[in-house]
Amino acid sequence: MMLRTSASRVLDDHDREEVLALLDTDPVANVFVASRVRSVGLNPARLGGQMWGVGPRGGLTSLCYAGANLVPVNAGAEAVQAFAERARRQGRRCSSIVGPADAVEKLWERLEPYWGAARAIRWAQPVMATSAPSPVPADPLVRQVRPDEFATLLPACVAMFTEEVGISPDLGDGGALYRSRVAELIRIGRSFARIEDGKVIFKAEVGAVTPQACQIQGVWVHPDHRGRGHAVAGMAAIVDLTLRHFAPTVSLYVNDFNTPARAAYRRAGFREVDTFMSVLF
């Protein structure tokens, strides 16, 4: 049975400035949530979920984004308990819990008895970041993907998602939501790739952007071209392009067991700054 503790509350646009101030205390770890809040505010209909908070207005200490993902922010033991209570009462609506490893692990300890087994758990995902141009040469053929190249890019995105997450993004709604997101990132100029003769050799997207940081996602090299340096040169290009056009710090997170990817990111200039954990359903 869960212990009683300080209650969480659902935040709204009246809390926006205080929420952003809290998110900005760790702009790399909080880039995904901060990007959402800066883009659409805290109204649940626009946010695609709720933002839970611990602490009164003017004294907010912790947050939890409860949408497609459950993402704790600056959540110590008391806040984790409060968020777990609310999540338990609400029932599972998310496809994952993701965020700083300590908070996610404690959340999952409290929710697993009620939500049941996870499909997969990624216990340690190093968060890597850089604020300097890459020390290695960038691939000059990596560029923004054009809207008319959607059909070329989509199979690479599906392959990356399936390889990374373990299930196809076509499940559930037939892939409509995933295709919409791929198309949106192309439209707003945040999808990059090296494309040769109609085939994607390397690709990556800028999934979240704030004035302080951006987060890279979906890094993928075609299986026929792995081991040839495309990941290092491609990420060097991504670092240089994103520093120039999006934010002063570039970040990503990666599974600890993905040794080749971690090595490639280090060579491209990234360093480990934090550790995330993901629980996948």
Position 2 confidence tier, pLDDT thresholds 50, 70, 90: very low
Please give the average per-residue pLDDT across 257-279, as a whole number.
97
How far is Cα 16 from Cα 35, in angstroms, rounded to an integer?
12
Q: Give pLDDT, residue 5.
A: 53
Mean pLDDT of the chain: 95
Task: Using only the alpha carbons of the chain, give its radius of gyration.
Answer: 19
Q: Give pLDDT, residue 1.
A: 41
Instruction: Report yes or no: 13 and 41 within 8 Å, Cβ to Cβ.
Output: yes
Q: Is the pLDDT of residue 172 over 80?
A: no
Q: Is the pLDDT of residue 176 over 70?
A: yes
The domains found in the chain, sorted by start residue, are 9-117 (3.40.630), 130-274 (3.40.630.30)
Tell me the sheet residues that pair with 222: none
Please give the average per-residue pLDDT across 12-27, as a whole number.
97
Over the stretch 138-151, which tens digit does the pLDDT of each residue have?
999 999 999 999 99
Tell me the sheet residues that pair with 206: 216
Please give the average per-residue pLDDT across 176-198, as a whole number.
96
Label the pairing between strands 96-100 and 271-280: antiparallel
How far is Cα 233 from Cα 242, in angstroms, rounded to an integer?
14
Q: How big is the CA angle at 99 (ends 53 and 125), to the nearest 5 degrees?
A: 170
Tell me the sheet residues that pair with 191: 205
How far is Cα 212 from Cα 207, in angstroms, rounded to an integer?
14
Over the stretch 92-101, which tens digit does the pLDDT of each residue have?
999 999 999 9
Instruction: Report yes or no: 64 and 51 within 8 Å, Cβ to Cβ.
Output: yes
Over the stretch 104-148, which tens digit does the pLDDT of each residue have?
999 999 999 999 999 999 999 999 999 999 999 999 999 999 999
Q: Give pLDDT, residue 171.
A: 82
Query: Given 3-state DSSP classes, what are the helix, strand and coil percentages for the chain, each rounded to the nearest 5?
Result: 40, 25, 35
Between the alpha carbon of residue 5 and those of residues 48, 55, 84, 85, the distances in Å are 27, 12, 11, 9
Please give the average per-residue pLDDT across 5-14, as a whole number.
88
Please give the average per-residue pLDDT across 4-11, as a whole number.
80
Over the stretch 230-248, which tens digit does the pLDDT of each residue have?
999 999 999 999 999 999 9
